[in-house]
Amino acid sequence: MRLQREKGLTLFIISHDLPLVAHMCDRLAVMHKGVVRDIITSQQPPART
């Protein structure tokens, strides 16, 4: 995460553990069946579809 801040890197993480990803990222893309359903900040709860 230090490299991400210092170098402005982008991380692409695939996980089913939203709390873990929210801890590591600023923004999350929530996907369902391969389609992005929502893009949220890590502080927003995901919308239920």
pLDDT at 29: 87
pLDDT at 46: 58
Please answer whether residues 26 and 42 qualify as being in contact, where contact means their C-beta atoms are separated by less than 8 angstroms.
Answer: yes
**What pTM, to 2 d.p., does this model score?**
0.56
- The yes-or-no verdict on residue 48 having pLDDT over 80 is no
For the stretch 18-23, contacts whose Cβ atoms lie closer than 8 Å and that sit 24 or more positions apart, written own/partner, are 18/46
10: its two tokens:
């982008």
Q: Read off the pLDDT band of 49 (50, 70, 90).
A: low
Domain extents for the chain?
Answer: 2-41
pLDDT digits (tens, 9 = 90+) for 6-44: 888 887 888 888 888 888 888 888 889 999 998 888 776
> Three-state SS across the chain?
CHHHHHHCCCCCCCCCCHHHHHHHCCEEEEEECCEEEEEEECCCCCCCC
